[in-house]
Amino acid sequence: MPTPILPPLFAATLGLLLVPAAHAQQYQKTATGLQLSTDSLTVQVQFYSPDIVRVVKFLKGAEKEHKSLVVVQTPAPGKLKYASKDGFISLSSNSTEVRIDPKTGQVRFLTAKNQPLISEKASGSRFTAKQDLGAATYRVRQLFQLAPNEAVYGLGQHQDGHLNYRGQKVLLKQRNLDIAVPVLHSGKGYGLFWDNYSTTQFADSDQGTLFDSEVGDCADYYLLNGGGTADGVVAQYRNLTGQAPMFPRWTLGFWQSKERYRGQDELLDVVKKYRALGVPLDGIVQDWQYWGENNDYWNSTEFGNPRFPDPQGMVDEVHKLNAHQIISVWPSFGKKTKAYQEFASKDMLFDFITWPRTPHVKVYDAFDPEARDIYWSYLNKNIFRLGMDGWWLDATEPDQLQPFDTDDDNETALGSFRRVRNAYPLMSTTGVYKHQRETSEAKRVFILTRSAFAGQQRNATMVWSGDVNSRWDVLAKQPAAALNLSLAGFPYWNSDIGGFFPYGEYPKGVKDPAFQELFTRWQQFAALTPMMRAHGENTPREIYQFGEKGSWAFDAQKKFVDLRYRLQPYLYANAWGVTSRAGTLMRALPMDFPTDPKVVDMGSEYMFGPALLVRPVVEAQYVNRPDKNQPVPPNFSTTKTTEVYLPAGTSWVDFWTGKRHNGGQTVQRQTPIDLMPLYVRAGSVLPLGPLQQYTGEKPDAPLEIRVYPGANGEFMLYEDENDNYNYEKGAYATIRLRWNDKARQLTIDNRAGSFPGMQQQRTFRVVLVDEQHGTGVGEGTEPAKEVRYTGKKLLVKL
């Protein structure tokens, strides 16, 4: 694979620091902005839209095109105004102004109303000459200046427990537990995307805010003007890098998995057991070694394991049980697999140690388009043709278990692995998404994967937080990790319920009260995340392993699985908001309460969609085990409490009791083992579906519409065919629900749109929530106004 040849460097001095030039250079207008030169730099400013500005800086004489792997937007700058004032060159759209110092190349950003957004530090661009696979390039650093007390978020997913990254350092390098997304999201309502794919150090200190990348031919970044709102920042990021498509509706249900089912009979028995017990289930996951246990055949994508004698029959049986299946596929292949042999013959394999620990397993070059074609060819002919419903693309970092200095010297189709390593998950998922869309539009792409990069949301990927440990302190860090990924623009996240690695902490496994408590609390949290999926090794995770129906562990877990299914209309409508309006489902509190100073760095709570405030219980309350060999017998019938902050600016209704609270205060909420604090914002209109065993079991069942008085509000119901791409052609329907608090009236507007198979008539049971009515998971017991809806506007007085 050839290494790109870079042009000779101009003044390639190690540690070259850019200093002010002796005089200004004339700038040149371009179709999208301008270009100017200082004595040391070439600076390009390009408006991609009135709200998105790209800045590219080269050492003078070393200019070359930098083609982004991430950006998909075509520049459409609109009308631009040029001016010179106070020694600066000014370039502005109707919303964003850029000021450039023609002597130094320093760039500043302001709103059209002259409000500062962010500025580069004077002399903040630095290029250090270096060699990369024998080619001349640079280490690239750019220093910015933030405002005092400005909060910043994003940067992907990191297991450090931080929400606000002021004063912090974050290494942006893809690893098992860390997802590197170089998108900085400011509490002032703007974002910054640093378009570099090498390992990058982010650091914020008194000296400024730094992006420091190992390899780059230029400094290349984008200013995202969100108009002062967090949702605006995410919208501009998605405009620039791609929108997130819809997942199949069934993915919103409950998923069961573990560190591999050892045969198809075991897998099918799990689904049958859930059906027999009446516990809802939509997804079952087959982890590794369905190909066999010899690592020479690692990830063959073929069912070489004799315990899987009839893979077609297995998939068909899962479907007959009204469930769906996804399967684990890796980017690495054993030396005796057909894929390995084909990749090796074309020099498309990397030479570093990955899982499993053997030199005979190697990772394919996802940066090579032909290699992506080959990868899909094996997935398609061996797996997708069976009717498999989705992909678990594991280890898309790819994780290097023994990180030698030479690992980054592997050559890819785009240069050294060092140069592009962070973009590997983007390229690998791009190949699978693109090829499945080309193969069939009848089944929506669903990819569960362990890593992500900027732009990957366009590839129908759901990330999980990696192989986390089964500990309370790890659970406590999951919400902040997820929220920063959301603030970096990535909408879909989940974690292994119970943690992946028990590591001998629970000698009695699922019968250990300590693990039972941790798993139950983790599952409650997972029910209010984009994907609810039990998974882990050693200790089984199926609900019936924890006890029989009627035991506290079984009943507490089923309660939240049932809650998940009741919330499906709410979840699916919010998923449509992600796709159609660049929405965010798992929302850090500063997104919705930007003027409340108490939530600036609060990573323990979040909004789930516009209505629900979630406060996971992330500390042991019942099993106190200072010595794990001498557990204290727990009494799960006692009631504990958890502190919950209710954000200011609205009132809140307890989901479980209907009790109302004013915002701007901290309350002590009782948290028995079967309850997690959950509050509903006043004015919310919350649609709930029926209790059911799988998604779509009861298409004709009434929908319950809960109205939480105290403010005006509305909600947009969304429906389509659930698992194809006809919605992209307009085959969907929406129904707007509007609550007038003063008039005590719910308006159900005319249905907009249609699709094949649509229910022409619906029954709505409308409930006004108070301390006696419309609380908890139950259905069908509250006094309600029941109306028959035929698609025409209805007024419901409460």
Burial class (CB in 10 A: 0-12, 13-18, 19+), 339: buried
- Of the candidates 498, 543, 568, the residue with the CA atom closest to the CA atom of residue 777: 568
Please name the amino acid found at residue 19: V
Tokens found for residue 93: 């759209």
**Encoding tokens for residue 64?**
């070359």
Q: Which of 51, 132, 302, 394 is catalytic?
A: 394
Query: Phi then psi for 93, rounded to 5 degrees?
Result: -100, -165
DSSP lists the bridge partners of residue 81 as 92
Contact 283, 388 (CB under 8 A): no
Amino acid at 644: V
Residue type, 38: T
Catalytic residue among 408, 467, 704, 723: 467
Q: Under DSSP, is residue 583 helix (H, G, I), strand (E, B) or coil?
A: coil
Q: Which of 471, 414, 415 is nearest to 133 (CA)?
A: 415
Told to judge if 704 belongs to the known catalytic residues of this protein, a careful annotator would answer: no
Q: Which residue, 372, 472, 388, is CA-closest to 429?
A: 372
Phi, psi at 233, each rounded to 5°: -65, -50
Tell me the C-alpha distance between 66 and 153, whole Å.
27
Q: At what angle do helices 230-241 and 472-487 cross, to 10 degrees?
A: 70
The amino acid at 724: N
Cα separation, 421 vs 425, in Å, equals 9
* Distance from C-alpha of 560 to C-alpha of 636, rounded to nearest angstrom: 17
Catalytic residue among 120, 217, 302, 397: 397
3-state secondary structure 626-661: CCCCCCCCCCCCCCCEEEEEECCCCEEEECCCCCEE
| CA-based nearest residue to 419, from 114, 770, 139, 119 | 139
According to DSSP, residue 594 is labeled: T
Spatial distance between the Cα atoms of 579 and 564, rounded to a whole number of angstroms: 21
Burial (CB count within 10 angstroms: exposed 0-12, middle 13-18, buried 19+), residue 184: buried
Instruction: Look up 467 and say whether it is catalytic.
Output: yes
Spatial CB neighbours of 243, under 8 Å, sequence gap ≥ 6: 457, 458, 579, 582
Amino acid at 36: L
596 an active-site residue? Answer: no
273: left (phi over 0), alpha (psi -120 to 50) or beta: alpha
Phi, psi at 192, each rounded to 5°: -135, 125
C-alpha distances (whole Å) from 689 to each of 57, 566, 608, 762, 764 are 53, 5, 17, 12, 10
- Backbone dihedral angles phi then psi of residue 17, each to the nearest 5 degrees: -105, 130
Q: What is the 3-state secondary structure (H, E, C) of 553-571?
A: HHHHHHHHHHHHHHCHHHH
Strands 678-681 and 612-614: antiparallel
- Sequence-ordered alpha helix ranges (H) in 357-445: 369-382, 417-420, 424-439
Q: Give CA separation, 796 vs 245, 490, 706, 707, 775, in Å.
A: 34, 38, 12, 11, 20
The Cα 200–Cα 181 span in angstroms is: 10
- Residue 380, both tokens: 């398609």
Which letter does DSSP use for residue 295 in this model?
G
- End-to-end Cα separation, the chain, in angstroms: 70
Angle between helices 568-581 and 552-566 (to 10 degrees): 50
Rg (CA), the chain: 27
* Active-site residue set: 394, 397, 467
